[in-house]
Amino acid sequence: MREQTSAKIFVLSDSLGDTAELVAKAAAVQFNSNANKIIKFPFVIEREQIDEVIEQATQEKCVIAFTIVNTNLKNYLIEHAKKNNIPAVDIMGPLLQAIQEVTHKNPKGKAGLNRQLDEDYYKKIEAIEFAVKYDDGKDPRGVKRADVVLIGVSRTSKTPLSMYLAHRNLKVANIPIVPEVEPPKEIFEISSKKIIGLTTDPTILNQIRKERLKSLGLDSNANYASINRILSELDYAEGIMKKIGCPVINVSNRAVEETAAIILKIIKGGY
């Protein structure tokens, strides 16, 4: 029976090394994942660190797999691995070169960018979950934790705006203003600069509400869509907004993206 051989895979990275480790595991399993041991060396940013790894590698039967984007450091590793007859595989290099040839742009050569993208992704997910949790006044306690609070009568795009802004990493709560329901006290306890009032043209709102009722299989002449009811709601909401002293945006005939752009400008102090 032929003796089974194994090798160690040294994974080097100028960041966490997760990418190189995943590739190394995928390759190792094609031979014997238990026999081929993977040893990770993250945050390799100095030549001295490479020297230490090379010295250790010369005493082992091993392969070096690496994701190092700094050109000088990468070349230093390749050169010294070659001198010591250690196979070294540049996992990202060929793909970076291919993208560079197609785009005619040079890679940034900066470590950790993927991790930064991940952090941005998780912030976005957190903001989206926040918008869902505190949508339509479900829990007014979210008002004090929000980056932005949208207030307005029904069908003034509060929910789609909340979701759009959440994709810009903003935690948004929205509160419906209804004459029969006292507004939550929380909206009077935070800075008016965090609150955006939304209003609209009553005729346009009348049509939107009628269509909404039809889509639900309800009578489009219900009080919810009557022009008198709408005028009453808008007047009441206007009074609340004046009391708070918050900016007010008329969303009539505006796309969500356009209104969101105005909101972003307001909260950045440029409107």
Give the span between the Cα atoms of 98 and 103, in whole angstroms: 9
Residues shown for the chain: 271
Give the rounded distance of the alpha carbon of 264 from its chain centre: 16
Residue ranges of the annotated binding site are: 152-159
Q: What six digits make up the tokens of 156?
A: 């003034």
pLDDT tens digits, 129-162: 999 999 999 999 999 999 999 999 999 999 999 9
Q: Which numeric CATH code is attached to 119-267?
A: 3.40.50
pLDDT averaged per 10 residues, the chain (length 271): 68 88 88 74 91 92 91 94 95 87 81 66 89 94 96 97 95 97 96 97 96 92 95 98 98 95 88 48
When the candidates are 3.40.50.2300, 1.20.1740.10, 3.40.50.2000, 1.25.40.390, the CATH number that belongs to 8-111 is: 3.40.50.2300
pLDDT at 5: 66
pTM over 0.85: no
Residue ranges of the annotated binding site for ADP are: 152-159
User: Where, residue-wise, is CATH 3.40.50.2300 in the chain?
Assistant: 8-111
Alpha helical stretches, state H, the chain: 18-28, 47-57, 71-83, 93-103, 113-133, 158-166, 202-215, 227-244, 256-267
pLDDT at 4: 45
